Amino acid sequence: MKLTVWTYEGPPHVGAMRVATAMKGLHYVLHAPQGDTYADLLFTMIERRGHRPPVSYTTFEGRDLGEDTAGLFKKTCQDAYDRFKPQALIVGASCTAELIQDDPGGLAETMDIPVPVIALELPSYQRKENFGTDETFYQLVKALAGPVEKTPHITANLIGPLALGFRHRDDLEEVKGLLYEMGIGINVVAPFDATPADLTRLGAAHINILMYPEHAETAARHMERVLGIPYTKTVPIGVGATHDFVAEVARICGVEPKKDISRLRQPWWSKSVDSTYLTGKRVFVFGDATHVMTAARIARDEMGFEVVGLGCYNREFARAVRQLAKDFGLEALITDDYLEVEKAIEDASPEMILGTQMERHIGKRLGIPCAVISAPVHVQDFPARYSPQMGWEGANVIFDTWIHPLVMGLEEHLLSMFREDFEFHDEAGASHHGGHSPKPAEGGQPPAAAQPRRDISETEKHEQAATLTGTDVMVWLADAEKELKKIPFFVRGKARRNTEKFAAERGVTEISVDTLYEAKAHYAR
Amino acid sequence: MNTPVHIPATSCRDTPILKERGQREVFCGLTGIIWLHRKMQDAFFLVVGSRTCAHLLQSAAGVMIFAEPRFGTAILEETDLAGLADANDELDREVGRLLSRRPDIKQLFLVGSCPSEVIKLDLARAAQRLTQIHAPHVRVLNYSGSGIETTFTQGEDACLASMVPVLPGTEARELLLVGALPDVVEDQAVGLLKKMGIGPIRVLPAPRSSDAPGVGPNTVFACLQPFLGDTAAALERRGARMISAPFPFGEEGTTLWLRAIAKEFGVDDATFEAVTAAPRARARTAIANASEHLRGKTIFFMPDSQLEIPLARFLTRECGMEAIEIGQPYIHKGLVGPDLDLIPAGPTISEGQDVDKQLDRVRAARPDLTVCGLGLANPLEAEGLTTKWAIELVFTPVHFYDQAGDLAGLFSRPLRRRALLKLEERA
């Protein structure tokens, strides 16, 4: 048993629902108790779908248990087929039904259902949502995709995008554009909007574009082995990765790596002088492996940040993430426990977090700006506007998204210049951190020193209390304290810590202005 | 004044109930934890279940999950399924860890889930054992919030019912108000009753375990919510007597509810009138304003919370709506009977659900407003129907006089919005 409040991933049958909901003409019959329909609202509310997920639940109750739950399953299966007339059915059990050991696959086989019925084995007590998506798609491909004649001109399958995927809808358009520029056509996109009939045509493609390894790598490997279709290993998130992706596709398909970068603005935006202040910003990156690995590269090579922490919650990709972390001189954090993530973030004290919905809240608590790069995400990250992560436009989107929470150069300069001004005083907070910014000072007066300090300072105090005990306790001389106040508040915490660390290492117990500046010189980069 | 309420010649009390079984698009009882833990400030709710249970709570709790809530899920892992002895040891260890980390917790609820019930993990015995281990600081109780036993608000019923046997005994004649309401509403209710000279008044659940009410043969209780059948039965087993009344929604419902209690406590008409006249007038004005868009409109309730019958009574009698079907997950006539009495025969009364068949009826009837869960609301909107999502009715303050206008507003807002938006291309 493990006590938990927040989970990064749902159970594996939710993964299967994500595949079923992404597709058309497919129906999922799920052996599950009353209440498991809660997952429907992830699709209808968070993703705002205007149709119910194509899932029929057996909805067994306590009184059904000693009786005929298997019969109930068969009835639900038959009703679902009769009502929805799908091209294929997938059947499986949720966590509770797994325990009562009816065998949905076996039961459905004994019935007279005239379309393919694909049984899913999703071990709910060992595996999670992403396993569910990957396994479900693999089973569908295995059952439906056979050898067919290749298309006369070069075409690709785009595999991996599905329901409740972070920006899958728009990534798809972007990747289609990249391929179009190289003269490569689309054979099948799956699971997104594909029908079971479409899946039977997968074999006609010359290449598989593996958009999201989390959701389709097993299927990609299967198709490589059985249908001889090579698949791409580069995920085109970021400028460099997109160039690499185009090169990889061109190499596999034997076409010219043509690309239209006329609308790519990210590199110039990043080179322009206002971005100089981004240099060496310390970022912590956490999320699913694919988005974390691509984000880390963008952060370092395309934004000029320093990556100070890196990790993922999906263990399936732990090895790749560990390898990447090593390249960054870091130890990867592989965990699905948000408390561990929170601790790692506190320890690394980054200036920015790139993460999931959860890290957004950790950032809020710690007063650290955060941008969302990966699922799980909430409703605001299924935007109406076009906002891919992949390709050239994705790079533009990512630049804007990441820098908005930060105080940009000019603004940062103004803030420190006018820091005694009532509008720009210490307590005003960063302008894009609205939810966290404290109330304006009453009557436009600069706030008194006695005003309660913000959360970040509270954290600081705790840290001090925790790290500085006994004889280590530092005294800040009045002048030094005053000088410290002149440092912009958003870097003051770091300055205070660095100075104290510097002093402690030298056995200094009283911090003077000189100590402050000696420490500054020592840590200058 | 004290005029008897008009009782229609034939009411829904006698309407045969359409009982359905099949796929149910409803929450399980675990969801009740979301509002119960806010109300009971020194309680922690520990679900013993699967990742699905944790995921459900996360989905239902929304942003609340980030605020160190006093609930969590002990997720069963493969090793727990192997042998029962292990599972108990594991549970004891997790509870020990939890209680040492949260010393402010005085009541711990072990909440049963579908998986824990199917593997027959005996949480009642675990609660006894853990109470002994952690006495006197913490009392451990248990109830089922599983989908195989409970629907949505029934989770609150199961929780409160589990507390009743361990409430202290009393011989005092006290009024007990049963059901978790937002503090602002609870204060209004208590305030009105006190002004009539009724007291002492106690509430279940109490905000802290040290304030737990006593119960005994002289206790009379009134339910604030219609889904508290098991709790009412448990109180009656302790000798308490229920005051039966329609539920306090709208001006009429609130007045009838108060009047039933006033009668029990011998409050004279003049006092009753003096206390209620002003808030009644306020409520009538607010309802009249808010229900402008509701008059003559049809409404269809899909089952969700057991609030459907009392709400249909309010909307048909006070807001001029016409009910087509009133679905409840479960109908306890002992509790909602007085509300059924007030609804003229006409609408279909349904219990349980076969969701696809019920949706066929919705589509055929094309009601002006459909009350349903979040899994159905957007799909129905996409079909051109106007919906009101039901879960909001459980979280928002809607009971008693001063919320009556807000309550009507919750139903009129979707209709106003539909009328307001000009999004279609015009010829």
ipTM exceeds 0.95: no
- In order of their start, the domains of chain A are 12-127 (3.40.50.1980), 145-253 (3.40.50.1980), 265-404 (3.40.50.1980), 475-524 (1.10.8.550)
- Between chains, do A44 and B376 touch, taking CB under 8 Å as contact? yes
Decide if pLDDT at B4 tops 80.
no
How far is B179 from B171, CA to CA, in rounded Å?
Answer: 22
Establish whether the linkage from the previous residue to B205 is cis, with ω within 30° of 0. Answer: yes
Burial of A66 (0-12, 13-18, 19+ CB in 10 A): exposed
Asked whether the beta carbons of B204 and B196 are under 8 A apart, the reply is no
Please indicate whether residue B408 or residue A62 has the higher confidence score (pLDDT).
B408
Q: Does the pLDDT value for residue A440 go beyond 80?
A: no
Rounded-to-integer distance, Cα A44 and Cα B377, Å: 8
Report the pLDDT value the prediction gives residue A452, as an integer from 0 to 100. 39
Q: What is the pLDDT of residues B121-131, one digit of tens each?
A: 999 999 999 99
Q: Is A41 close to B23, i.e. CB distance below 8 A?
A: no
Distance from CA of B316 to the nearest CA of A (A): 29
Determine the average pLDDT of the residues in B219-238. 98
Banded model confidence at residue B68, pLDDT cuts 50, 70, 90: confident
pLDDT digits (tens, 9 = 90+) for B286-328: 999 999 999 999 999 999 999 999 999 999 999 999 999 999 9
Please report, rounded to a whole number, the percentage of residues in chain B having pLDDT higher than 70: 97
Query: With 0-12 CB in 10 A as exposed, 13-18 as middle and 19+ as buried, what is A108?
Result: buried
Residue A45 to residue B52, Cβ atoms within 8 A:
no
How far are the Cα atoms of A169, A458, B352 from residue A441, in angstroms, in the given order? 44, 20, 56
Q: What is the pTM of this model?
A: 0.89
Confidence class for position A464, pLDDT limits 50, 70, 90: very low
Tell me, yes or no, if A124 comes closer than 8 A to chain B by beta carbon: yes
**Cα–chain center distance at A73:** 36
- What average pLDDT score do residues A39-50 get? 94
Q: Please compute, for residue A64, the number of CA atoms within 13 A of its CA located in the half-sphere on the CB side.
A: 23
CATH of domain B12-24+285-426: 3.40.50.1980
Would the pLDDT of A492 be above 80?
A: no
pLDDT over 90, % of chain A: 71
Pairing outcome for strands A2-4 and B71-75: antiparallel
Residue B87's pLDDT band (cuts 50, 70, 90):
confident
Contacts of A479 by beta carbon, 8 Å cutoff, 6+ apart: A512, A513
Query: DSSP letter at A61?
Result: -
Show residues of chain B in contact with A5, CB under 8 Å: 54, 58, 65, 69, 71-73
Q: CA A315 to CA A365: how far, in whole Å?
A: 26
Residues 6 or more apart in contact with residue B44 via CB below 8 angstroms? B37, B70, B71, B72, B98, B102, B105, B107, B108, B109
Query: Under an 8 A CB cutoff, do A95 and B115 touch?
Result: yes
Q: What string of H, E and C letters represents the secondary structure of A421-447? A: CCCCCHHHCCCCCHHHCCCCCHHHCCC
What are the extents of the domains in chain B? 12-24+285-426, 29-150, 174-280
Return d(Cα A60, Cα A102) in angstroms, integer. Answer: 12
Average pLDDT over residues A144-163: 97
The residue-averaged pLDDT of A359-388 equals: 93
Task: Please say whether the beta carbons of B186 and B254 come within 8 A.
Answer: no
Summarize pLDDT for A195-233 with one digit per residue, the tens. Answer: 999 999 999 999 999 999 999 999 999 999 999 999 999
User: Residue A325 contacts by C-beta under 8 Å, 6 or more apart in sequence?
Assistant: A310, A311, A331, A332
pLDDT score at A417: 59
CA of A44 to nearest chain B CA: how many angstroms apart? Answer: 6
- Cβ neighbours of B110 in A, within 8 Å: none
Contact (Cβ atoms closer than 8 angstroms) between residue A377 and residue A166: yes
Residue-averaged pLDDT of chain A: 88
Residues 323-382 in A contacting B (C-alpha not used; CB under 8 Å) = 358, 361, 364-365
Length of chain A as a residue count: 525
Lowest mean pLDDT among A249-258, A281-290, B55-64, B357-366: B55-64
Structure tokens at B408: 């009507």
B100-127 mean pLDDT:
95
pLDDT of A488 reads 67
Q: Which of B44, B117, B118 to mutate to test the interface with A (most CBs of A within 10 A)?
A: B118
Is the confidence at residue B248, as pLDDT, over 70? yes
Chain B touched by A510 (CB under 8 Å): no
pLDDT band at A435 (very low <50, low <70, confident <90, very high): very low
The 10 Å Cβ neighbour count of residue A510 is 11
Read off the tokens for B375: 């899994």
Interatomic CA distance for residues A134 and A130, integer angstroms = 6
More reliable by pLDDT, A522 or B176: B176
CATH 3.40.50.1980 fits B29-150, yes or no: yes
Is the separation of the CB atoms in B8 and B72 below 8 Å? no
Question: Which tokens hold the place of B274?
Answer: 């003096």
End-to-end CA distance of chain B: 55
Higher pLDDT, A38 or A464: A38
Q: Which amino acid is at B270?
A: A
Q: Please answer yes or no on whether B50 and A57 come within 8 Å at the CB atom.
A: no
Model confidence at B145: pLDDT above 70: yes
Chain B interface includes A128 (CB < 8 A): yes
Q: Is B12 annotated as a binding residue?
A: no
Q: State whether residue B405 is helix, strand or coil.
A: helix
What stretches of A305-460 adopt beta strand conformation (E)?
306-312, 333-334, 352-355, 370-372
The region of weakest confidence among A105-114, A124-133, A463-472 is A463-472
What does the block give as tokens for B216? 């005994």
**pLDDT for the residue A441:** 41
Top-ranked range on mean pLDDT: pick from A159-163, A270-274, A362-366, A445-449: A159-163
Tokens of A378: 């909430």
- The C-alpha of A163 sits at a distance from chain B's nearest C-alpha, in angstroms, of 15
pLDDT above 90 (res B19): yes
Chain A hits for B72, CB-CB cut-off 8 Å, are: 3-5
Contacts of A101 (CB under 8 A, 6+ apart): none
CA angle, residues A5, A11, A16, in degrees to nearest 5: 150
Q: Which residues 6+ apart lie within 8 Å of B52 measured at CB?
A: A10, A11, A13, A14, A36, A94, A95, A96, A124
3-state percent helix, strand, coil for chain B, nearest multiple of 5: 50, 15, 35
Residue A427: band (very low, low, confident or very high) from pLDDT cuts 50, 70, 90: low
CA distance A462 to A458: 6
Residue B150: closest C-alpha in chain A: A34
Mutation target to probe the A interface, by most A beta carbons within 10 A, among B25, B50, B51 is B51
Please state, in angstroms and rounded to a whole number, the distance separating the CA atoms of residues B182 and B355: 31
Catalytic residues of A: 274
Give the mean pLDDT of A492-500.
82
DSSP string, B26-80: --BGGGGHHHHHHHSTTEEEEEEE-HHHHHHHHHHHGGGGGS--SEEEEE--HHH
**Mean predicted confidence (pLDDT) in A385-397:** 98
Residue B66 confidence (pLDDT): 74
**What pLDDT was estimated at residue A438?**
43
Paired tokens of B8: 């229609």
Please, are residues B11 and B341 in contact by the beta-carbon 8 Å criterion?
yes
Whether A442 shows a pLDDT value over 60: the answer reads: no
A49 CB within 8 Å of a chain B CB: yes
Q: In what order do the strands lie in the sheet with B17-20?
A: B17-20, B348-352, B322-328, B298-301, B369-372, B387-389
Q: Is A44 on the interface with B (CB under 8 A)?
A: yes
Q: What is the pLDDT of residue A474?
A: 79
Contact A76 B147 (CB under 8 A): no
Q: How many CB atoms lie within 10 A of CB B94?
A: 18
With contact defined as beta carbons under 8 Å apart, do A206 and A198 qualify? no
More confident residue, B412 or A475: B412
**Has residue A99 got a pLDDT over 60?**
yes
pLDDT band at B115 (very low <50, low <70, confident <90, very high): very high
Min Cα separation B1/chain A (Å): 45
Cβ neighbours for A364, distance < 8 A, ≥ 6 positions apart: A370, A435, A436, B66
Cα–Cα dist A418/A41, whole Å: 48
In B, minimum Cα distance to A361 occurs at: B66
Which one of B56, B73, B87 has the shortest CB-CB distance to A38? B56
Q: Is the pLDDT of residue A359 over 60?
A: yes
Q: Which two three-digit tokens encode residue B331?
A: 């109908």
Nearest chain B Cα distance for residue A32, angstroms: 9
Chain A residues with CB inside 8 Å of B98's CB? 3
In this prediction, residue B186 carries a pLDDT of: 95
Partners of residue A57 in chain B, C-beta under 8 Å: 23-24
**What pLDDT digit, counting tens, does each position of B176-193 carry?**
999 999 999 999 999 999
Which residues in A lie closer than 8 A to residue B114 (C-beta atoms)? 33, 35, 95-96
Measured at the CA of A329, the angle between CA A325 and CA A330, to 5 degrees, comes to 50
Cβ A513 vs Cβ A499: under 8 Å: no
Distance CA A75, CA A60 (A): 12
Q: What is the rounded CA–CA span in Å between residue B412 and residue B293? A: 6
Quick one: pLDDT band at residue A443, thresholds 50, 70, 90? very low
Q: What is the average pLDDT across B41-46?
A: 96
Q: Do B23 and A6 touch (CB under 8 A)?
A: no
User: Does the distance separating the beta carbons of B114 and A96 come in below 8 Å?
Assistant: yes
Q: Which residues pair with A190 in a beta bridge?
A: A159
Burial of B378 (0-12, 13-18, 19+ CB in 10 A): buried
The pLDDT score that the predictor gives to residue A392 is 98
Whole-angstrom CA distances from B118 to A60, A128, A211, A496, B86 are: 12, 21, 39, 56, 16
Contact B379 A51 (CB under 8 A): yes
CATH class of the region B174-280: alpha beta
**Minimal Cα distance from B89: which residue of A?**
A1
List CB contacts (< 8 A) between A40 and chain B. Answer: 25, 374-376
Mean pLDDT of chain B, nearest integer: 94
The three-point CA angle B4-B5-B11 to 5° equals: 135
Q: Is B282 exposed, middle or buried (0-12, 13-18, 19+ CB in 10 A)?
A: middle
B383, closest residue in chain A (CA to CA): A50
Phi, psi (5° rounding) for residue B181?
-115, 155
Measured CA to CA, the distance from residue A406 to residue A418 in angstroms comes to: 18
The alpha carbon of residue A304 is apart from the nearest alpha carbon of chain B, in Å, by 31
Domains B12-24+285-426 and B29-150 share a fold: yes
pLDDT band with cut points at 50, 70 and 90 for residue B389: very high
Helices A489-505 + A513-523 axis angle, to 10:
100
Q: Residue A318: its pLDDT value, please?
A: 97
Say how many CB pairs under 8 Å bridge A and B: 179
Q: What are phi and psi of A322, to 5 degrees?
A: -60, -40
The 3-state secondary structure of A312-323 reads: ECCHHHHHHHHH
Determine the Cα–Cα distance for residues A204 and A254; give it in Å rounded to an integer.
Answer: 17
Tens digits of residue pLDDT in A289-311: 999 999 999 999 999 999 999 99
